[in-house]
């Protein structure tokens, strides 16, 4: 049996499907996209933590920078896409704090912080050096904020945005405050017996040249690095130390033995209670301390001639070439082979700078010692003005060994012995002949 297809069946089904699809499209709501518009970013800055510092201090200034820009309009658009950037966003932001005069020197370069959306806050820190000469008061430093922000959104097609941007800069004042402080300044210095290798005293007159008043104050003397001047008494309590006040302090110091005749640094600082009741320490101040050389001695007497094989008394004249006097000085000679000494110590007494003293020693060269010049060491032990016992560096003593003055002593000992043997033999032979001749009579 043959079936006949109904004409137009396929076309009718296609139309129905198309109508259903269109009905779905018309039934679906159009998507709505929100776009916020405003006047662009704006900023405020506040100091986080303290903004009070003292002269000479290394400071870290921490700042809170907020983008206060707002979106004042909202645009709802149909059939478009959501924009990524907003006009209130500060993009590629760079923040820098600049110095203002010589009182506060900013050491940190401008910092890149990236994008800051409206209403967001970032924290930045800057290192600064407060000048030691900064006076009390407020100082305003300019904070510069460079950024870019959205200007216009051009939508060429339903799926394409074209952004254009403006460059912006904002300058804000940042206020730092220099607190009242005590600033010690040495106005007078009197050294007492500051000598290399010894101890002495340092008298200092100190004035508070700062605007602040200190109470319960103490002045500390501090060694400066590897300076040879070393405080033995380091702290003097002075009590109240008002602005403009003057005090006198006395310190005991020791000086290393390798110091030379020049000026060396020493530091001092004042620890005190400030007007807020806090215990603080002032910045260090450095003062130069003149140091005298360790006393040096020179032999200025002629080189004595000493005959070998006999005791001789020699006189040695010592001169004090230092800049300070020595007291109760005594000298010791250190002989060595082929020279011995039966008396090698002598008392010199007090010797002022440039003055001399004479020592006498009894020495004896070996009879077989070679003639010529010899050098012996001597050392002088003395007391300084404070009674400290100190030994000098070695002082060379020159002498010349010469032959004996005459007789057998002028002949070396070995030859003398041979001659004596010969003499004895001859004497014995003569005596023998004499006796033989006598007995022959």
Write the pLDDT tens digit of every residue in 270-321.
999 998 898 999 989 999 999 988 888 999 999 999 999 999 999 999 999 9
Whether 19 has a pLDDT exceeding 60, the answer reads no
Q: d(Cα 301, Cα 358) in Å, to the nearest integer? A: 9
CA dihedral 226, 229, 230, 232 (to 10 degrees): 180
Angle at alpha carbon of residue 310, lines to 376 and 339, rounded to 5°: 25
Domain end (from 118, 147, 178): 178
Residue 158: C-alpha distances to residues 31, 74, 82, 382, 390 (Å): 12, 19, 11, 104, 100
- DSSP 3-state helix, strand, coil percentages of the chain (rounded to 5)? 10, 55, 35
Same domain, residue pair 45 and 135: yes
With respect to residue 9, please indicate whether it lies within any of the assigned structural domains. Answer: no
With respect to residue 15, please indicate whether it lies within any of the assigned structural domains. Answer: no
Domain region containing 405: 297-409
Same domain, residue pair 236 and 330: no
By mean pLDDT, which of 16-30, 87-101, 236-250, 395-409 is the weakest?
Answer: 16-30
This prediction's pTM: 0.59
**Helix, coil or strand: residue 350:** strand
Contact 287, 268 (CB under 8 A): yes
* pLDDT of amino acid 100: 78
**Helix, coil or strand: residue 102:** coil
Helices (H), 118-239: none
* pLDDT of amino acid 2: 39
226, two tokens: 């590897």
* pLDDT of amino acid 154: 59
The CATH number linked to 358 is 2.60.40.10
Same domain, residue pair 61 and 109: yes
* pLDDT of amino acid 180: 86
Is pLDDT larger for residue 186 or for residue 384? Answer: 186
Same domain, residue pair 199 and 287: yes
Q: How confident is the model at residue 441 (pLDDT cuts 50, 70, 90)?
A: low
With respect to residue 283, please indicate whether it lies within any of the assigned structural domains. Answer: yes
Q: d(Cα 402, Cα 250) in Å, to the nearest integer? A: 58
287, two tokens: 């003062």
* pLDDT of amino acid 106: 94
**Helix, coil or strand: residue 427:** helix
**Please, what is the average pLDDT of the chain?**
83
With respect to residue 17, please indicate whether it lies within any of the assigned structural domains. Answer: no
Beta pairing partners, 44: 66
Q: How confident is the model at residue 409 (pLDDT cuts 50, 70, 90)?
A: very low
Is pLDDT larger for residue 249 or for residue 79? Answer: 249
Same domain, residue pair 189 and 306: no
How many domains are there within the chain?
4
* pLDDT of amino acid 132: 79
With respect to residue 19, please indicate whether it lies within any of the assigned structural domains. Answer: no
The single residue listed with the structure tokens 């016992």 is 389
Q: d(Cα 415, Cα 124) in Å, to the nearest integer? A: 100
* pLDDT of amino acid 82: 55
Give the whole-number percent of the chain exceeding pLDDT 70.
Answer: 80
Q: d(Cα 173, Cα 159) in Å, to the nearest integer? A: 44
28 φ/ψ angles, rounded to the nearest 5 degrees: -75, 135
141 φ/ψ angles, rounded to the nearest 5 degrees: -110, 135
Same domain, residue pair 65 and 152: yes
Q: d(Cα 416, Cα 408) in Å, to the nearest integer? A: 7
417 φ/ψ angles, rounded to the nearest 5 degrees: -65, -45
Domain end (from 146, 162, 178): 178
Is pLDDT larger for residue 247 or for residue 424? Answer: 247
Q: d(Cα 36, Cα 55) in Å, to the nearest integer? A: 49
The highest-confidence range among 21-30, 162-171, 396-405, by mean pLDDT, is 396-405
Instruction: Write the burial class of residue 274 (CB in 10 Å: 0-12 exposed, 13-18 middle, 19+ buried).
Output: middle
* pLDDT of amino acid 71: 61
* pLDDT of amino acid 34: 47
Q: d(Cα 259, Cα 294) in Å, to the nearest integer? A: 8
What is the per-residue pLDDT across 52-98, written as a single tens digit (0 to 9) for each? 888 888 899 999 999 998 765 555 454 455 556 678 899 999 999 99
Whether 4 has a pLDDT exceeding 60, the answer reads no
Reported as type and span, the H/E element at residue 17 is helix 9-27
Q: What is the mean pLDDT of residues 406-416?
A: 51
Q: How confident is the model at residue 30 (pLDDT cuts 50, 70, 90)?
A: very low
Same domain, residue pair 278 and 199: yes
With respect to residue 275, please indicate whether it lies within any of the assigned structural domains. Answer: yes
Same domain, residue pair 200 and 267: yes
With respect to residue 21, please indicate whether it lies within any of the assigned structural domains. Answer: no
What is the per-residue pLDDT across 162-200, written as a single tens digit (0 to 9) for each? 678 889 999 999 999 988 889 999 999 999 889 888 888
Q: Which of 152, 145, 147, 143 is nearest to 167 (CA)?
A: 147
Q: Which of 201, 199, 204, 200 is nearest to 219 (CA)?
A: 204
Contact 410, 404 (CB under 8 A): yes
235, two tokens: 């702290």
* pLDDT of amino acid 427: 78
Whether 439 has a pLDDT exceeding 50, the answer reads yes
Q: How confident is the model at residue 384 (pLDDT cuts 50, 70, 90)?
A: confident
Instruction: Write the burial class of residue 415 (CB in 10 Å: 0-12 exposed, 13-18 middle, 19+ buried).
Output: exposed
Give the whole-number percent of the chain exceeding pLDDT 90.
Answer: 55
Residue 372: C-alpha distances to residues 78, 303, 369 (Å): 121, 11, 9
Same domain, residue pair 352 and 220: no
Looking only at the bridges linking them, the beta strands covering 71-78 and 199-208 are unpaired
């Amino acid at each position: 049996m043959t079936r006949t297809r109904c004409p137009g069946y396929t076309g009718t089904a296609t139309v129905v499907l198309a109508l259903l699809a269109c009905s779905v499209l018309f039934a679906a709501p159009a998507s709505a996209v929100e776009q916020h518009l405003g006047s662009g970013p704006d900023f405020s800055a506040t100091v986080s933590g303290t903004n009070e510092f003292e002269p000479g201090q290394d400071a870290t200034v921490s700042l809170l920078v907020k983008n206060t820009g707002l979106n004042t309009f909202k645009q709802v658009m149909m059939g478009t896409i959501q924009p990524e950037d907003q006009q209130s966003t500060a993009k590629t932001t760079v923040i820098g704090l600049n110095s203002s005069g010589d009182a506060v020197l900013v050491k940190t370069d401008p910092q890149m912080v990236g994008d800051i959306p409206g209403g967001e806050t970032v924290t930045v820190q800057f290192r600064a050096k407060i000048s030691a000469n900064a006076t009390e008061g407020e100082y305003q430093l300019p904070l510069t904020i460079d950024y870019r922000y959205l200007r216009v959104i051009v939508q060429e097609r339903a799926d394409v945005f074209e952004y254009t941007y403006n460059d912006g800069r904002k300058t804000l004042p940042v206020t730092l405050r220099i607190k009242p402080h005590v600033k010690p300044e040495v106005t007078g210095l009197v050294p007492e017996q500051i000598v290399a290798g010894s101890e002495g005293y340092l008298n200092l007159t100190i004035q508070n040249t700062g605007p602040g008043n200190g109470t319960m104050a103490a002045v500390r003397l501090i060694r400066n690095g590897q300076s040879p001047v070393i405080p033995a008494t380091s702290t003097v309590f002075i009590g109240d130390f008002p602005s403009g006040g003057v005090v006198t302090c006395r310190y005991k110091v020791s000086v290393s033995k390798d110091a030379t005749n020049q000026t060396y640094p020493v530091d001092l600082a004042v620890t005190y209670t400030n007007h807020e009741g806090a215990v603080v320490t002032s910045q260090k101040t450095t003062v130069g301390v003149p140091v005298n050389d360790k006393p040096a001695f020179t032999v200025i007497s002629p080189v004595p001639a000493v005959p070998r094989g006999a005791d001789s008394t020699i006189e040695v004249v010592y001169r004090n070439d230092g800049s300070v006097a020595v007291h109760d000085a005594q000298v010791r000679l250190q002989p060595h082979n082929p020279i011995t000494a039966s008396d090698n110590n002598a008392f010199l007494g007090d010797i002022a700078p440039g003055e001399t003293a004479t020592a006498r020693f009894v020495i004896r060269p070996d009879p077989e010692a070679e003639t010529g010049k010899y050098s012996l060491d001597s050392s002088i032990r003395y007391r300084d003005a404070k009674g400290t016992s100190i030994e000098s560096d070695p002082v060379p003593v020159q002498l010349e060994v010469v032959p004996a003055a005459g007789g057998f002593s002028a002949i070396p000992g070995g030859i003398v012995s041979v001659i004596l043997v010969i003499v004895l033999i001859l004497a014995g032979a003569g005596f023998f002949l004499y006796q033989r001749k006598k007995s022959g009579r």
